[in-house]
Amino acid sequence: MDITTTMNGSIDQTFALSTSDKTAFMCILYIVLGVLSIFANIINISIFLTSRELRSNYIFHIVVDFGEIVNGLSYITCGIGRGSALIEGLFTTPITAHDCFYNRYWTVLLILGTEIPAWMTIVCAVERVVAVHNPTTYLKYFNKRNKILLVLASMSCIGGSMVWAALSALHNERINLTRHCSIIESTGRIFSTTHFVFVPFAYVGSFVSLCVIAFVHRVGFCTSSYFLCGMKADNYSKQQRMFT
């Protein structure tokens, strides 16, 4: 027995041993968090849509918020689907990975709700890096038309990921001990592993890249304007002494 099979069995046994009260609580929590997420991101999108300038400048952010709405929907459908199985007494009835993906409506939303924000976070980070590092290039290439093309390219990558997920689940007879039907339980192991490596890497990589570009430009600015940076530091020290 390989290690992935052992891990999958351990996950299934954990869910199988969960009490109905804990499962019911998690279902309710998922629905509440999903509703709050959708409400908050609808407000964000509504603000972005109030003017043409905001719509043009924040296309990527609008799509990120849309992805978070999809993620909220996945939480709600998870809560309803798993809660229904619990009420009907079917939650601990074994189910195949194929049936989880193709017959349980929340698995696709779970994948889309995590991958859309992840891909668009990468695009947002690239935009910020280019804008800070080379403003001329940013103004030349990051117009509305090209931004829409980048969004479509990201959606194409997500579509390819969904095709891979569907193929990995097709006729996959791996048995899950519960009807939790998470991404791991509903798709092939290679896809699910790749998915859960990519998503955190997208966020961490984007954050680190922005930190690096900020640090590089800070160092470069102080190197070229040493006296000015020294004055700023000296003024800041004086202000600190005044308030201590």
Residue 21: per-residue pLDDT? 79
The rounded distance, in Å, linking the Cα atoms of 130 and 136 is 9
Quick check: 177 and 16 in contact, CB under 8 A?
Answer: yes
pLDDT per residue over 48-91, tens digit each?
A: 999 999 998 999 999 999 999 999 999 999 999 999 999 998 99
Q: Is residue 241 part of a domain?
A: no
The rounded distance, in Å, linking the Cα atoms of 227 and 220 is 13
Q: How many domains does the chain divide into? A: 1
Average pLDDT, rounded, for the chain: 85
- From start to end of 8-121, where are the E strands? 95-96
Q: Is residue 156 part of a domain?
A: yes
pLDDT per residue over 1-38, tens digit each?
A: 444 444 455 555 554 445 677 888 999 999 999 999 99
Q: Is residue 223 part of a domain?
A: no
The range of the structural domain enclosing residue 71 comes to 3-208
Q: Is residue 216 part of a domain?
A: no
Q: Is residue 229 part of a domain?
A: no
Q: Is residue 242 part of a domain?
A: no
pLDDT per residue over 120-144, tens digit each?
A: 999 999 998 898 888 899 999 999 9
**What pTM does this model have?**
0.81
104: domain CATH number is: 1.20.1070.10
| Residue 153 host element (H or E) | helix 144-169
Q: Is residue 219 part of a domain?
A: no
The rounded distance, in Å, linking the Cα atoms of 41 and 77 is 18
Q: Is residue 235 part of a domain?
A: no
